[in-house]
Structure 1
Amino acid sequence: MVGEEVERALTKFAPPKVGGIRSSPRKIQGPDQQNLRLQFRNKLALPLFTGSKVEGEQGSAIHVVLQNTNTGHVVTSGPEASAKLDIVVLEGDFTADDEENWTQEEFENYMVRERDGKRPLLTGELSVTLKDGVGTLGELTFTDNSSWIRSRKFRLGVRLASGQCEGMRIREAKTEAFTVKDHRGELYKKHYPPALNDEVWRLDKIGKDGAFHKRLNQANVVTVEDFLRLVVMDPQRLRNILGNGMSNKMWEGTVEHAKTCVLSGKLHVYYADEKQNIGVIFNNIFQLMGLIADGSYMSVDSLSDSEKVYVDKLVKVAYENWENVVEYDGEALIGVKNYQAKGFDSHTSDPFGGRNFHSQGPSLNHQNGYTHTNYL
């Protein structure tokens, strides 16, 4: 009797038989395998336009990683770390939180295909292979705008390609929602980052032919370079040009966008004496870079407080006499190869030859919520 009871109990745990043959037991996944997900590492550069390359912020490549959600670490080994992924388009209203563990079916329900009679919605390199758990998306282009779907926005998504890591659940990744506009709108789009010679309306919050654009042009602030130079030399004047219609938040956003601009290698020097023994060095947006004294270059950071007082005064004079500033190619000027900080003796004679400077220099100040200094 006892033997029969034991046998009956064991049969409850035995896998069922199919066609007289016992089926293989299901593979039990380890805790790491049950908690893997794909994740985009950077955001997209927005807005997006049909026919234009999909890129990361500031023109960077778009990266996706395989992550262990238990540890937050990138999974660098195992077959899953070299899996092939498919890139798809999703509805913008797939709003599940990134920390949620949605199902494969839920993800696929939000996938978007092209409109009838249209070209494939997304073209280019529609797959990416992970290497040590990291993948870099190739060229991708949208062929249609997003105005025709219910949310009027798309997302990019990545998922395991068919046949990859079978029996293993790796949660898909999705980007933030974004609008795709027709290519003709690109003529008016902002640049990230802006170029020095871009017209000033390429900056955030300044619309082409709008009130801010017209005011800036009337003040001869035509390019992004002009804008940045005024940010450095006289931010309050620039703030007054834009007027009260630009809020502090808008102002900060516009300035921050302008400051992402890549500067050229040009340098400008204002010499304090005819022998050119002492001079202050500016970059091409008139930002103070350092000092040349007796053939040695000193960065702003290396100057003592008393030296900075002298430099402040010289910067003020330079701004008032900009026609006397000499322009150099950056590499040619820094033929001055001594980068060691060579200090002044603040207890001896005035290193600037005793010139009578104004007492107020362009020192650190706070204006309209924006911290401004000529030592940026």
Structure 2
Amino acid sequence: MKAFAMKAQGAALEEIELDRPKPMGREVLLKVTHAGVCHTDTHVQDGGYDLGSRGTLDMSTRGVTYPCVMGHETVGEVVEVGEDVTDVAVGDTCLAFPWIGCGECGKCAHGHENACDNGRALGIIQFGGFAEYLLLPDQRYAIDVAGVDPAWAATLACSGVTSYSSARKATATVNPDEPIGVMGVGGVGMMTVAALVALGHKNIIAIDVSDENLASAQELGATLTVNSKNATSHDLVEAAGGQFIAIIDLVNTGDTVALAFDALSRAGKIVQVGLFGGEFVVPTAIMALKGLTLQGNYVGTVEEVREVVELARQGSLPKLPITGGTLNVDGVNDGLERLRTGRARGRTVLTP
């Protein structure tokens, strides 16, 4: 089968030939019909994450090997199953859950495979969806998306579940009319606005440096927009009519966290999602005096993906813009470059 792989850290993708997998036991083989291109792919290609004064988190320490076939937002048609598969049938259209854990630790046992210390994520540690076929190690990772636009469904495995999981964390103990900010309304930020709307939140403030992104966020349900270029925390509070009970930071640099931190009310929370890197120095006394929370969010669980898919199927989740392209080596490389240079709007989903 054809696959589009990175042969070394930082290299452009090349077309390679791999053996078509043969599913055994509870395994499921998908013929890839839709593959999303995500900002995480650019970090994997670059080889790490910026940790500020602590240097760089090298992806090789997380288990990345070469050739690396990326792609973790994948929808495909089931073309073959292992002999023990009972819940998935040939011909089904399924979304691949990519955030697979070791299957043996306590986190995995309680359904939090995305937090596993020995994760085996598709498209990062194991071969992903930038290929003709994708092998799922268990039928539970094949999520039926019948009735959902498959291009949109592909985005739900990453941006969708990330947005939904972070929105749930932000709204867990607040009233629907309390102000929640969404910092950075690119592709994932737009989906976060949509997730907050789907969860019934009524006071959503979109914050970004792009008026175009802010206009799109308002179309998706943001009740107020703030252009944060040259803005201070006071400016955000003044625009929102008061301090924020929560801010979901989809950028998550030292600058954006500092901006959000000083805009929080007592018992406020920052849900840190973005992977753009940097660091933030915490004023420890303020953390205690105001009872603040800094909480990270990394994608979501398989059950949360199922919940997001159901919201999409019911029409409760506003749809974000999707840019198409061809699933070949040029299409993937172009999609990665558009993300890296900030030219991608909404989400990019490639088809063969």
TM-score (norm 2): 0.24
Using CA pairs below 8 Å that are at least 6 residues apart, which structure has the higher relative contact order?
A: 2
Larger radius of gyration: 1
Higher helix proportion, which one? 2
TM-score (norm 1): 0.22
